[in-house]
Amino acid sequence: MANRLLRIAALVELASLVLLLTNLATVHWAPVASLLGPVHGCAYLFVIGATIQVTGDLRTRLLAAVPGIGGLLVIRRLRHGPAPAAGVEMYR
């Protein structure tokens, strides 16, 4: 359930950021910015909170703090698993 909510929040965060930047680059309507700004902020905070709930991995949690694409990076990392640390060889 948390993974599904994380996916939804990540997509809302990215879409709202794209719409905010598009609005800023074109007509810059204040009502659009005043509506989408809080939506983006809430989605951003929700992504961070959901990531903290889903995983204890520090690097994954730090990825969630990247504005706009952090949620998508977290989902990708959770799907593929964290990479081994640099300089550490994997033995079978």
Question: For residue 92, what is the DSSP state?
Answer: -
**Predicted confidence (pLDDT) at residue 17 exceeds the cutoff of 50:** yes
Question: What does residue 85 show for φ and ψ, rounded to 5 degrees?
Answer: -65, 150
Distance CA 4, CA 25 (A): 32
User: Residue 61's domain spans which residues?
Assistant: 2-80
**Predicted confidence (pLDDT) at residue 61 exceeds the cutoff of 70:** yes
User: Residue 72 domain-assigned?
Assistant: yes
User: Residue 47 domain-assigned?
Assistant: yes
Please state the rounded mean pLDDT for residues 37-44.
97
**Predicted confidence (pLDDT) at residue 59 exceeds the cutoff of 70:** yes
User: Residue 75 domain-assigned?
Assistant: yes
User: Residue 76 domain-assigned?
Assistant: yes
Neighbour-count burial of 50, counting CB atoms closer than 10 A to its CB (0-12 exposed, 13-18 middle, 19+ buried): buried
Structural domains in the chain (count)? 1
What's the CA dihedral at 30, 38, 23, 69 to 10 degrees? Answer: 160
